[in-house]
C-alpha cells in the first residue's frame, strides 16, 4: 500500500477502508507520508467525503497512531469536549464536579483556536500550573484527585497532530469527516468509557447555523459510539458569551466564584449541570438526566467540587491555597476601561465572534501560533441579550495592557452590541440533544 493509492481511492469516491486508514495514519505519524500527500488526502476527503464507516476507520487509525491509555480505577472514566466558544469555562466546573460524583476525568484539552478561548490557556493563568505534565503525572493525579485538566503529549494521536497542521494551511478545516476524526482520535486515546460533547451554535461558534451544528453533533455521536465509546451531545447556544467574562484569568475568576458560591452565573451553571447529567448517565452513575444534573448541582453547592479543584491545582504545581486566595493569585491587567451604552434600549443581539476577536487583539489569544498569551486581559461584566440599558450604563469592562489596546477594544465592544426598543426573545441555552439512540 502507498499514499498515492489511498488518496486516489478517496478522490474517486471509494471511501477509506480500515487498512488504508491504518497505513495512512501510521505514515502521518512516522513521516512516511509527505506534507503534499497529507494535503492531497485532506482535500480529497473534503471534496468527496469518506462516509460513516470511513470516519470510524480514520478515527480509530489516528487514535492508534500513538499511545492509548488504559485505566485500572474504581470507577468509570469519562470526559467532555466543547467545539469552542466565548466565555465557555464549563470544563473547569465540570471536571471537579464529576470527580465529586465518583467519576474519573482525564480531561485532555486544547488551547485557544481563532476567536475561541482554550481550556489550557485558562488553566495556565493559574501561577505554577503545569498544563503539560506528561502521561505518568496525568495517571497519578487522576487516580489520587479524580480529575486532571491537561494538554495532549506528543505520544497522544500524533497522526492527528500532523494532519491538523496540514488542514490549517490547505483550506480543509471545514470537513466534518476530518473534524470528527480529529476531535475523537485524541479523546478516545485517553481510554474513555464515555464522552459528552458540547457542540456550540451561534455567532460565536465555528458552526454558526443550526443545521451545521446538528450535522457535526450527529457525526461525532455516531462515530464515537461506532468506535466503541458511549457518547451523547448537547447543542448549546453561543449567540453571546456563556460567561459574564471572556479572557483567561477573568474566566478562572468567574469559575472560582461559582465553585465557592460567592457569585453564580446561572447560564454557566445550568450548561455545566446539563452536560454533567449526560456524563453521569453514560457512566451508569445516574438513572436519568434529571437525576444526573441534580448530582452535579449538589457537588457544586456543597463545595466538594471546589475542594477537588483546589487539590488538582496543587497537584499540578499551582498554589496550595488557590481556592481560599484565588483573587490574590490570579494576574490582573493594569488598564481598565468601562464601555457604556450609547443610548437606551434592550440588548437585542450580540456578535460573540467579535467579542472573542477583541479578546484576542487585547492579547488574550493568538493572532499567529507563536504569540504569547497575556492571561490578565479580557472583558468582564458583559451585558446579556434581553438586558435593559440606560444611556451610560455599562456594557462591559475592558482589562487591557495599554491605553491604546483598551481604546481599540472599546470600539470593538460597541460594534458587537445591537440595541432595540422592544424586549427581544432570549435564546435558549440548550437547543437540542443527540443521544446514542438518535444515531443508531
Active-site residues, by number, are: 79-82, 119, 167, 182, 186-187
Cα separation, 261 vs 258, in Å, equals: 5
C-alpha closest to that of 286 among 270, 275, 302: 275
C-alpha cell at 155: 505520544
Asked whether the beta carbons of 418 and 240 are under 8 A apart, the reply is: no
Terminal CA-CA length for the chain: 33
Which helix (H) or strand (E) segment holds residue 253: the answer is helix 248-260
Strand partners of residue 79: 195
Question: CA dist 261 to 31, 205, 266, Å?
Answer: 50, 29, 11
Burial class (CB in 10 A: 0-12, 13-18, 19+), 60: buried
As given in the structure block, the three cell numbers for residue 94 are: 465540570
| Residues 395, 396, 398: CA angle, nearest 5 degrees | 150
Q: What secondary structure does DSSP assign to 8-76, as a single string?
A: HHHHTT----HHHHHHHHHHHHHT-S-HHHHHHHHHHHHHH--HHHHHHHHHHHHHTTS-------SS-
CA 17 to chain centre: 30
Question: Which neighbouring-strand residues pair with 394?
Answer: 340
How far is 215 from 207, CA to CA, in rounded Å? 10
Query: Grid coordinates in use for 146?
Result: 479524580
Q: What is the DSSP letter of 427?
A: P
Residue 350 and residue 239 in contact, taking contact as beta carbons nearer than 8 Å: yes
Strands 335-340 and 147-151: unpaired
- Which residue is listed with cell 490557556? 121
How many whole angstroms separate alpha carbon 347 and alpha carbon 387? 5
Relative orientation angle of helices 352-359 and 403-416, to the nearest 10 degrees: 170
Residues facing 151 on adjacent strands: 109
CA distance 211 to 381: 31
Amino acid at each position: 500500500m502507498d499514499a498515492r493509492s489511498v488518496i486516489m481511492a478517496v478522490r474517486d469516491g471509494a471511501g477509506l477502508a480500515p487498512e488504508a486508514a491504518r497505513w495512512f495514519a501510521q505514515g502521518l505519524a512516522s513521516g512516511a507520508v509527505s506534507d503534499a500527500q497529507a494535503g492531497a488526502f485532506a482535500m480529497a476527503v473534503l471534496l468527496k467525503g469518506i462516509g460513516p464507516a470511513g470516519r470510524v476507520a480514520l478515527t480509530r487509525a489516528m487514535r492508534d497512531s500513538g499511545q492509548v491509555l488504559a485505566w485500572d480505577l474504581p470507577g468509570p472514566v469519562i470526559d467532555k469536549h466543547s467545539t469552542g466558544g466565548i466565555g465557555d469555562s464549563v470544563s473547569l466546573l465540570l471536571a471537579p464536579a464529576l470527580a465529586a460524583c465518583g467519576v474519573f476525568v482525564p480531561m485532555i484539552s486544547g488551547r485557544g483556536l481563532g476567536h475561541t478561548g482554550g481550556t489550557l490557556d485558562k488553566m495556565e493563568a493559574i501561577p505554577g500550573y503545569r498544563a503539560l505534565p506528561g502521561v505518568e503525572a496525568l495517571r497519578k493525579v487522576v487516580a489520587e484527585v479524580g480529575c486532571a485538566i491537561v494538554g495532549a503529549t506528543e505520544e497522544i494521536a500524533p497522526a492527528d497532530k500532523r494532519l491538523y497542521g496540514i488542514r490549517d494551511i490547505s483550506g480543509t478545516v471545514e470537513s466534518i469527516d476530518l473534524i470528527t476524526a480529529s476531535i475523537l482520535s485524541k479523546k478516545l486515546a485517553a481510554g474513555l468509557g464515555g464522552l459528552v460533547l458540547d457542540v456550540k451554535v451561534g455567532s460565536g461558534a465555528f458552526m454558526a447555523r443550526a443545521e451545521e451544528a446538528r450535522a457535526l453533533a450527529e457525526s461525532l455521536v455516531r462515530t464515537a459510539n461506532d468506535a466503541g465509546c458511549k457518547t451523547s451531545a448537547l447543542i448549546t447556544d453561543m449567540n453571546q458569551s456563556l460567561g459574564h467574562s471572556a479572557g483567561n484569568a477573568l474566566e478562572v475568576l468567574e469559575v472560582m466564584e461559582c465553585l465557592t458560591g460567592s457569585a453564580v452565573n446561572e447560564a454557566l451553571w445550568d450548561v455545566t449541570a446539563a452536560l454533567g447529567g449526560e456524563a453521569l448517565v453514560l457512566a451508569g452513575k445516574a438513572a436519568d438526566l434529571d437525576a444526573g444534573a441534580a448530582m452535579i448541582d449538589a457537588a457544586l453547592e456543597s463545595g466538594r467540587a471546589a475542594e477537588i479543584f483546589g487539590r488538582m491545582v496543587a497537584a499540578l504545581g499551582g498554589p496550595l491555597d488557590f481556592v481560599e486566595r484565588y483573587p490574590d493569585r490570579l494576574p490582573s491587567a493594569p488598564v481598565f476601561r468601562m464601555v457604556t451604552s450609547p443610548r437606551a434600549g434592550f440588548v437585542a443581539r450580540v456578535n460573540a465572534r467579535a467579542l472573542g476577536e477583541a479578546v484576542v487583539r487585547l492579547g488574550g489569544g493568538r493572532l499567529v501560533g507563536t504569540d504569547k498569551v497575556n492571561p490578565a486581559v479580557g472583558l468582564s461584566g458583559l451585558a446579556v441579550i434581553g438586558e435593559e440599558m440606560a444611556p451610560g450604563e455599562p456594557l462591559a469592562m475592558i482589562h487591557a495592557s495599554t491605553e491604546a489596546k483598551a481604546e481599540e477594544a472599546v470600539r470593538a465592544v460597541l460594534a458587537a452590541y445591537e440595541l432595540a426598543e422592544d424586549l427581544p426573545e432570549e435564546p435558549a441555552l440548550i437547543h437540542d440533544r443527540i443521544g446514542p439512540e438518535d444515531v443508531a
